[in-house]
Structure 1
């Protein structure tokens, strides 16, 4: 018995008929994003075999950051250009259309703080059947310290303010700390399935595999990267910028501080200041978790927000600076 030609579907047509779901991981910063992205990059073939495409479109540093750069008008640190949105979203749509799996996953922590207009612009141009947004948040005071470390340690970025100047309004350090303000732009615009993860619940890779319907051991375990530096190193870098050292000198100071002060403890923020941070964002986080039918875990009284028992201490002492100076003089006379 023969079939009518118009009823016969080729394998290519059948593949095109597969419903494509796009998972968009929006961050936030300092929630294990780089570790996750590197793992998915290094294991993209294994992911594809499990039914998830991690496309090479919009590529920067293991992930699809160039699409986020385009949405925010940010400059690509390597290519030194501001990516063109039409070109970037077109590249993503092409990657989705050519994917051999029904699930496609993209990630960039720069998505997190996109404006409502930028998110709508993305939604209007995506050519996919359905979308699932994934956001990860973290205990605000520890995220605050991690973000401060990241900004203060970088040479030649002009960032030199004391950490305490941001405590009363944490969002002035980084807009990602306004969890609900950022996530609501995505939730309201896409009106689709959305998952809210907590950094403290487990490793970023394991949690993301679970969202994708995969087992936690589906990919090799990845070690965390972008670890925080000692508090003394952070303070040395802040001081080097505050005193106006040249960019070249700042880089030399960074190298020397890491050599001499590597055994110093992590950055210290007092329990009093941590409480201020938790209180200042508590109402917004109540609203965030309520929107997902969850209880806010980031309150002063919650188990997850137990405050450290560390006694008050300085991040850097005059002795540390003298040790650095002595090491530098010894190296010059050696």
Structure 2
């Protein structure tokens, strides 16, 4: 069930690569609504107007007879009440278990900002944080417990399982915990693999600048700027490396991981949802991160350097569009 930045890409990649072993052990990882490694297209079908019979038929579940069915998408965190009710109806003949991975909010927010920029976002780290932290417990990005409560209301408490992400990372059992829900812990072993790894935040700032310029020029379409940036990397490496160093001189140190809302969510897990946790709750700890300030864009020289990079990158975009 997600949310984003809680190991979902790693889990889905391992499931995708080991479908045969899963099938042999009695677990079906179906093809329906499949994109990359997960069932990401299912979100729109459930939240939208597709009927229960149509969705059920698209799964062609005959191939999954007598097997446990496992579906995965971090986008399921955006299922509305209507979508969750439809999910319950589609799989009404099954014993449903919904597994949520819960991560300390401030750490996840930084990863989410990073991912948003990769996908075409233009908000600075400061603005992104403020937009969610102004009312943290009302933000779905900070307080995922709200979605857990909705799922409990619809499916019942016994159908909900929670995994403490930080403990799972430390113990390297992210996937094993998911498979343990159906008693198949060791069918696909966990590995130490950094999937969808964060790149330098200074590099993300350059991509954000390019997104902003592309948006103003009418060139921005999803992650196309990032893709053009990396396809141009050999040509622009020297300029990018120098600009990253200068952006880093505008960075500042931030201590995250133990904010008030981190402690509040962890307290809820320990005191209100301990019966749903299938691993140990992690301790709330401080983590120091170096965050690039958007103030670098106030320096004419740095903007000129970034603009020179944008000319090369946008040349790729325009040739592709042409």
- What TM-score, normalized to structure 2? 0.72
Aligned to 2:268: 287
SS in 2 for 1:167: helix
Unaligned runs of 5+ in 1: 1-25, 74-81
- What count of residue pairs does the alignment treat as equivalent? 288
Aligned to 2:8: 33
Aligned to 1:307: 287
* Equivalent runs, 1:205-284 vs 2, <5 Å: 205-216=175-186, 218-219=188-189, 221=191, 223-243=193-213, 244-247=216-219, 250=225, 252-253=228-229, 255-256=231-232, 259-260=237-238, 261=240, 270-271=253-254, 274=256, 278-280=259-261, 282-284=263-265
Change (3 A) 1:220 1:294: closer
* Equivalent runs, 1:64-79 vs 2, <5 Å: 64-73=39-48
Q: Deviations over 1:294-322 (max 9, x none)?
A: 7999x9xx8442222x5776589567666
SS in 2 for 1:305: coil
CA–CA separation in structure 2 for the residues paired with 1:288 and 1:113: 21
SS in 2 for 1:177: coil
Moved more, 244-253 or 258-267: 258-267
SS in 2 for 1:223: coil
SS in 2 for 1:213: coil
The answer to whether residue 129 in structure 2 is matched with residue 164 in structure 1 is: no
* Conserved 8 A contact 2:152-2:160: yes
SS in 1 for 2:96: strand
Aligned to 1:10: none
Change (3 A) 1:324 1:165: closer
1:262 shift after superposition = 6.4
1:206 shift after superposition = 3.1
CA–CA separation in structure 1 for the residues paired with 2:86 and 2:126: 37
* Conserved 8 A contact 2:52-2:86: no
Change (3 A) 1:200 1:312: closer
1:143 to 108, 117, 129: 108
* Conserved 8 A contact 2:132-2:141: no
* Conserved 8 A contact 1:34-1:225: yes
Change (3 A) 1:184 1:285: farther
CA–CA separation in structure 2 for the residues paired with 1:269 and 1:53: 47
* Conserved 8 A contact 1:231-1:316: no
Larger radius of gyration: 1
Moved more, 44-53 or 314-323: 314-323
SS in 1 for 2:32: coil
Aligned to 1:200: 166
Aligned to 1:15: none
1:271 shift after superposition = 2.7
Unaligned runs of 5+ in 2: 316-322
Aligned to 2:54: 87
1:209 shift after superposition = 3.0
Change (3 A) 1:124 1:291: farther
SS in 2 for 1:112: helix
Q: Deviations over 1:130-151 (max 9, x none)?
A: 1111010112112101110111
CA–CA separation in structure 2 for the residues paired with 1:255 and 1:216: 39
1:46 shift after superposition = 0.3
Aligned to 1:17: none
1:292 shift after superposition = 1.9
1:255 shift after superposition = 4.6
1:90 shift after superposition = 3.0
The answer to whether residue 124 in structure 2 is matched with residue 187 in structure 1 is: no
Q: Deviations over 1:85-131 (max 9, x none)?
A: 65223323x41x44244311111111112122221122123232311
RMSD: 4.0
Q: Deviations over 1:270-290 (max 9, x none)?
A: 435x37x83246445533543
